[in-house]
Amino acid sequence: MIGVVGSGGDVTACLESLEATPGVEKAVRISAPYKFVSKEFRKERTVIKVGKAEIGGDEFITMAGPCSVESEKQIMETAEAVAAAGATILRGGAFKPRTSPYDFQGMAGDGLKLLAKAREATGLAVITEVMSDQDVSLVAEYADIMQVGARNMQNFALLKVLGRCGRPVMLKRGLSATIKELLMSAEYIVAHGNPQVMLCERGIRTFETATRNTCDISAVPVLNELTHLPVIIDPSHAVGKRSLVPAIAKAAVAVGADGMIVEVHPCPEKAVSDGAQSLTIEGFREMMQMLQGYQKLWKLERQSELAVA
């Protein structure tokens, strides 16, 4: 498949002449401002394979782990626990975007090495954030999935470099980014060479202060109508409060997301960041058990969708 970008001119004539070219089966006009990521360009869901997980496939995927990598003990203990409870991808930040310059900024390279060690020990794939175009090649050495944080969703310099990084990317929606803007940012990565992009709804900023952000749950079916890319929900950042996470996780499965990313910490009250929204290991285990029934329904629906297609 080849995408041709541009505007103006006699499009119909152009499409006809393209279809007449040997080797071309069909030429399609894409009217959305995003091209490669649109359903018009590709009808089948994009499936992204990392480790044992197939994101966008026929299993609901769970990514779990601490906000920040803090120590070998912390990350190994968490990795083993979340793997045992059913997660297939380990999250953990080595480079941390912090509102204050005086807050913990992450373990950087050392954190990446600990994540790799946890991967070896558990078989979990690793997702971790990259904050600067200068760090892309370093992070790509260790990560299975490169995470772009909400604050960098429109860091176009970073997106361009991620188009050439050779790793799947999870792009988090900006705090006040529209769904269209999220797709345009994904288009940057794909247009620069990397089709392995998944999107993440992590809560948007509204007037409501009862939760840290407002989980825009409708973003999932909206995105499912507009794009073939997988959609992940982050209930932890969406609500910012531990006790609310399981209910949102259930909703994430029911609404048809491809997976979720959840913060888990062996001792949340001592976490250097996001302690209030991190599940304990025991809490994560209970939640995963409660989700089983919902995941079965999810799987039946996904299989019947694939059967139809």
Residues 122-141, one symbol each (x = binds a copy of itself by CB under 8 A, - = not), give ---------xxxxx------
Q: Give the separation between CA 217 and CA 260, rounded to whole angstroms.
A: 12
Residues within window 246-275 making contact with a copy of itself, judged by CB under 8 A: 247-248, 250-251, 253-256
The answer to whether 156 contacts a copy of itself (rule: CB under 8 A) is yes
Q: Is 295 in the site for a copy of itself (CB under 8 A)?
A: no
Our finding on whether 151 is near a copy of itself (CB under 8 A) is yes
The answer to whether the CB of 95 falls within 8 A of the CB of 130 is yes
Question: Taking CB under 8 A as the criterion, which residues in 172-201 touch a copy of itself?
Answer: 174-176, 178-181, 184-185, 187-188, 191-192
x/- mask, a copy of itself, residues 217-236, rule CB under 8 A, reads: xxxxxx-xx-----------
| Rounded least distance, CB 116 to a copy of itself, Å | 22
**Whole-angstrom distance between the N-terminal and C-terminal Cα of the chain?**
20
Q: How far is the CB of 149 from a copy of itself (least distance, A)?
A: 9
What part of residues 5-44 is at the interface with a copy of itself (CB under 8 A)? 5-6, 33-35
Number of residues that bind a copy of itself (CB under 8 A): 73
**Residue 282 identity (one-letter amino acid):** E
Tell me how far the alpha carbon of residue 292 is from its chain's centroid: 21
Q: Closer to a copy of itself at the Cβ: 211 or 280?
A: 211
Choose which of 120, 157, 193, 303 interacts with a copy of itself (CB under 8 A).
Answer: 157
- CA–CA distance, 297 with 114 (Å, rounded to integer): 36
Is there binding between residue 303 and a copy of itself (CB under 8 A)?
Answer: no
Asked if residue 290 lies in contact with residue 103, where contact means CB atoms within 8 angstroms, the answer is no
Binding mask 70-109 for a copy of itself (x = CB under 8 A): ---------------------------xxxxxx-------
Supply the minimum distance, in Å, between the C-beta of residue 22 and a copy of itself.
28
Does the footprint of a copy of itself cover residue 211 (CB under 8 A)? yes
Cβ within 8 Å of residue 264, ≥6 positions away: 64, 65, 66, 78, 81, 82, 278, 279, 280, 281, 283, 284
299 belongs to the binding site for a copy of itself (CB under 8 A): no
Minimum distance from residue 99 beta carbon to a copy of itself (Å): 5
238 belongs to the binding site for a copy of itself (CB under 8 A): yes
Residues in contact with a copy of itself, shown as a per-residue x/- string from 46 to 75 under the rule CB under 8 A: ------------------------------
Q: With left for phi above 0 and alpha for psi between -120 and 50, is residue 171 left, alpha or beta?
A: beta
Neighbour tally for 306: CB within 10 Å: 12
Q: Taking Cα atoms as reference points, which of 220, 170, 222, 178 lies closest to residue 199?
A: 170
Q: Which two tokens stand for residue 211?
A: 């939760």
Instruction: State which of residues 72, 297, 303, 306 lies at the interface with a copy of itself (CB under 8 A).
Output: 297
Contacts of range 215-221, beta carbons closer than 8 Å, 24 or more positions apart: 215/239, 215/248, 215/251, 216/173, 217/248, 217/251, 217/252, 217/255, 219/173, 219/179, 220/252, 220/255, 220/256, 220/257, 221/255, 221/256
Closest listed residue to residue 37, CA positions, set 204, 244, 199, 158: 199
Cβ proximity to a copy of itself, 167 vs 237, nearer residue:
237
